[in-house]
Amino acid sequence: MPTLEQTSVPAWAVATAGMPLDRVAARAALVTFASDQEPRRTWGQELDHAGIPYDLIDLSEASKADIRQAVGLLIDSASVGFRLMLHGPLAPVLAARAAALEHSLLDEEIIVCTTEVSEIPLYCVHCTGESVVRAAIDDVVTCLHCGTDLLVYYHVSRRQGSFLGFKHDAEAYELTGAGEAA
């Protein structure tokens, strides 16, 4: 497996971590998906101390579609200097990040704090279904939609906000009769 720096997987997607506050922000939205108060309190204190106005939005009960819509609306009404701060478990954080990138926010304008990374969103390339599964990179899990055993690959789709999963033995798979002369 390559090092994370050689992949599309952010470090905060494999180990809980928080990014530092961007002190040059003009305004921020602190979006939370978790009941854990500490990072919210810490970031809130840092924002207050830096004099950066912010909105606190709790999307802990929101679906992926609702998360994407809410983040899109936040960004559509944002101005220069806006920072999106995402706090919570990996699956909703990745969904919110995908929505932010879709609405033209830059990576540098998104600040992330993950509180849990053992449950990941996994996209199946075989049926295009997405499931949230308890897994890590290089694990093999069964797709909840089509039943294929999937390898969790070290690729996170920026557009979909999920890890890539494909047939775990794809390299060894042989098509019987393929390429044989008739």
Q: What integer pLDDT is reported at residue 176 of this predicted model?
A: 46
Phi, psi of 60 (to 5 degrees): -65, -20
Residue 150 lies in a domain: yes
Looking at the fold, whether 40 and 96 belong to one and the same domain comes out as yes
Q: What integer pLDDT is reported at residue 11 of this predicted model?
A: 92
Looking at the fold, whether 44 and 90 belong to one and the same domain comes out as yes
Q: What integer pLDDT is reported at residue 50 of this predicted model?
A: 95
Residue 182 lies in a domain: no
Looking at the fold, whether 35 and 77 belong to one and the same domain comes out as yes
Q: Which domain holds residue 135?
A: 119-167
Looking at the fold, whether 25 and 103 belong to one and the same domain comes out as yes
Looking at the fold, whether 125 and 97 belong to one and the same domain comes out as no
Residue 10 lies in a domain: no
Domain boundary among 79, 98, 116: 116
Looking at the fold, whether 142 and 93 belong to one and the same domain comes out as no
Q: Three-class SS of residue 46?
A: helix
Residue 55 to residue 30: CA distance in whole angstroms: 6
Its pTM surpasses 0.85 = yes
Looking at the fold, whether 30 and 100 belong to one and the same domain comes out as yes
pLDDT along the chain (182 residues), means of 10: 83 92 94 78 90 94 94 94 96 97 96 95 97 96 97 95 92 53 44
CATH code, domain with 56: 3.40.50.2300
Q: What integer pLDDT is reported at residue 26 of this predicted model?
A: 96
Q: State the total domains in the chain.
A: 2
Q: Which of 39, 43, 33 lies closest to 68 in space, CA to CA?
A: 33
Residue 52 contacts residue 28 (beta carbons within 8 Å): yes
Q: What integer pLDDT is reported at residue 30 of this predicted model?
A: 95
Q: Can you say whether the dihedral through the CA atoms of 135, 140, 142, 147 is positive or negative?
A: positive
